[in-house]
Structure 1
């Protein structure tokens, strides 16, 4: 017997909604033959694009080569929810957890970063469907109210324009019978079309003189003393400095994976809502939304009024780039059921697209930096969400470290230290499987699951 999730997923396209557009740019030519550069950026996601743009804007004479294994935005950057905020450390609560002594400075850096983010979009005329609609964290059941209150108090203490909503106030913003309260952060946060943003940054980088090569997977890096030789499938480039912007894919040095694990995040988008369906859910202010479920969900509206609904984590041993299972309905069934529990008034709606994307899970759940080849290469990555805007900050600090600039932030703890070590396979896969099982059943079954998640949190992974 077909479930409502089966019916809703019957005609789904298993490809990111954001990338399914006729105006997607044709790929740049691959790197063929030998060349030299002042700076090579490896990875054409948000971090790589921001790094290339900022390097050229700081020094127009700098010869920058950007290589991407696939096409721009076809990694993590074309797959996220696209909610942007001032946080550069995966949320204010996470910043307090990992760097409490630097919290005020990190807040200031986050606001500066958002100003730079907005300025770049405006200066380069990037059309990315950016809406400054704010963001909400909603309590799913009364059990989530203490977490919402704690977040509200923290945001108020640091000067954010926030409103604490009761059940009625929350449902007036977004009508779900599950929602019992919320914090609404009103300013300097909102939603963006991530693929259009990436393609706009791509165009800006090319206009600034960045030499872009797509379909150019890196095969090796050879330390040649004063320079590094980066070999791709069809060519090679030699440079004295390299930025490794490979995030969850952790390419560039085998040690990167000792601090970074790739976890899959799954997302659904509905077909466009009718005016009647829009009236049934409200959402007039179009905020980006996170909830307090143990297996967290996040949601937003797309420009054509689809609901994007994401957040079920999964793990595949040895971190395949594009697991075949995630191009089938099976992994999305529970996510679909969570959607219908959240919005029962949308019973019968179908999902147009479903996809998964890589998250770089670390014990910090935020950007960090690793130095390789005698400091000639810097890895900047570790985004576990909130990376659409925070990636600009990560690129800026990574470039400063690579160029040996003595900025105050390069001396701060987040930039000068690394996250904790993560066990290798097969222990990584075993621990991940137990954790995913615990996440799935913690709210409904309890038992051993909450103590396990508490232990995982103490190890540095606050997934619940």
Structure 2
């Protein structure tokens, strides 16, 4: 058995009438848009970006120093981009998984593992302290082998976790299928350190909390340039400027205000669908009593989870890159991507035949060559950037924000001493080499899956150069 390569008519019908927007953002509880900046304001700290990293930065800065004047600006609306378009998997991993972390930061992995758990605990504590209801459930994640050749990889993952003091329980086929009733499940590993949540509710709650703490938030406000002005930094927008003593840039997949950083990330497009709520019979047919997040284990993978009202979010698999790092919003709408996701969902859960999707959407991920966040200091350390999460930023953004604040405040902490924080990924080459390299890599990932995970010469070479590419 392999994954279907073409959608059937049933899959097309499943998504044909879906609303082309993120389910998380298409709800009446979405807050009204805030005013744009239309004057000159000053601040001790300017935060650029209204996603998780920017929001955690603003909240943490205000809590650390209640007298600090903090301004946050967002080009569009709070959570409009990656933070409102993801699957809601809030993982303790800071390194995009154990394997990637051991490959890149082996000596630091015991520390990073501990800091990741502390981060997850800190997120839960912050939601409780700030009164944020994001439908959070600490149910963990099941990483699933759908084919026999993927089982050994899960065993290696479980062994690597044990070496780091983590308990990732290996579930052989019968036990795994008791947890998730799918004919494709061959085995699974349970990771308890994953929090499933509603990402938009978390972002909206953080924005409200930031304002209660005194943070001024402006939406519809794009920073077009940063320059020195005596002891201040002037951040320019179309209608007004911010004079700030310090700046944290948390712009995700959007092009950085600092041009020299633009080769370090590329916008890779990810797609997802949301089903209608399951009936009681459909829900019972799936097993899945633990409500864990699910992810499968191939070179290209899916992620899926249940929402609070028992819908299924199903996303991932393909990862599209457009020439010139084109981030235009027209790329959110790819009917073929939605149809193949529908086909794969019905292949995994054939008992859902006839279900309909209510929403389909795409979003850009800030992908870097090491697959996890990095930090940059500029303007003599007065401007700090935190980007590059590569799709696993819901939890890691909290750590990234705290680290960015340490850096911009000139603090020496356990976080700032990490090689992970002090180093950067290898930049991507300029066009047309960037497009050619990513396109070849995508094709080789598909080929690797057809060859039962064998990487081949191209992917092995990219791995050795530190220029891998994550689907």
Any gaps of 5 or more consecutive residues in structure 1?
A: none
- Among 379, 382, 401, the alignment partner of 2:385 is 379
Counterpart residue number, 2:266: 261
- Quote the offset at 1:454 in angstroms: 2.7
Counterpart residue number, 2:93: 87
Q: Deviations over 1:233-273 (max 9, x none)?
A: 21100112100001221322011112111111111111111
Indicate yes or no: 2:26 matched with 1:20. Answer: yes
Counterpart residue number, 1:274: 279
103-112 vs 334-343, greater mean Cα deviation: 334-343
Counterpart residue number, 1:160: 166
CA distance in 2, matches of 1:378, 1:166: 45
Counterpart residue number, 1:393: 399
Q: Contact 2:47–2:70 (CA<8 Å) still a contact in 1?
A: yes
- Partner of 2:46: helix, strand, or coil? strand
452-461 vs 276-285, greater mean Cα deviation: 452-461
- Among 39, 44, 49, the alignment partner of 2:50 is 44
444-453 vs 272-281, greater mean Cα deviation: 444-453
Q: Deviations over 1:176-227 (max 9, x none)?
A: 11111011123x3220000000000001000000000001111111222422
Matches within 5 A, 1:417-456: 417-444=423-450, 450-456=456-462
Inter-CA distance 367–447: structure 2 relative to 1 (3 Å threshold) = closer
Q: Deviations over 1:44-102 (max 9, x none)?
A: 10000000011111100100000000000001100111111221121222211110001
CA distance in 1, matches of 2:154, 2:288: 19
Inter-CA distance 69–259: structure 2 relative to 1 (3 Å threshold) = same
Report the RMSD for the aligned CA atoms in angstroms: 1.8
- Partner of 1:454: helix, strand, or coil? helix
Counterpart residue number, 1:238: 243
Q: Deviations over 1:432-462 (max 9, x none)?
A: 2222223334323679974333333333225
CA distance in 2, matches of 1:167, 1:49: 41
- Quote the offset at 1:364 in angstroms: 1.4
Counterpart residue number, 2:470: 463
Inter-CA distance 246–74: structure 2 relative to 1 (3 Å threshold) = same
Q: Contact 1:39–1:62 (CA<8 Å) still a contact in 2?
A: yes
CA distance in 2, matches of 1:279, 1:356: 29
TM-score, normalised via structure 2 length: 0.94
- Partner of 1:452: helix, strand, or coil? helix
Matches within 5 A, 1:7-406: 7-186=13-192, 188-311=193-316, 312-406=318-412
Aligned length, in residue pairs = 463
Counterpart residue number, 2:3: none
Q: Contact 1:268–1:354 (CA<8 Å) still a contact in 2?
A: yes
- Quote the offset at 1:143 in angstroms: 0.6
Any gaps of 5 or more consecutive residues in structure 2?
A: 1-6
Q: Contact 1:14–1:328 (CA<8 Å) still a contact in 2?
A: no
Q: Contact 2:441–2:469 (CA<8 Å) still a contact in 1?
A: no
TM-score, normalised via structure 1 length: 0.96
CA distance in 2, matches of 1:44, 1:421: 25
Q: Contact 1:271–1:351 (CA<8 Å) still a contact in 2?
A: yes
- Partner of 2:47: helix, strand, or coil? strand
Q: Contact 1:325–1:331 (CA<8 Å) still a contact in 2?
A: no
Q: Contact 2:331–2:362 (CA<8 Å) still a contact in 1?
A: no
CA distance in 2, matches of 1:443, 1:19: 34
CA distance in 2, matches of 1:457, 1:350: 39
- Partner of 2:142: helix, strand, or coil? strand
Counterpart residue number, 2:415: 409
- Quote the offset at 1:331 in angstroms: 2.7
Q: Deviations over 1:17-59 (max 9, x none)?
A: 1111101001111001111110100001000000001111110
Q: Contact 1:457–1:463 (CA<8 Å) still a contact in 2?
A: no
CA distance in 1, matches of 2:286, 2:376: 45
Q: Contact 2:271–2:362 (CA<8 Å) still a contact in 1?
A: yes
CA distance in 1, matches of 2:165, 2:417: 25
CA distance in 1, matches of 2:147, 2:241: 56
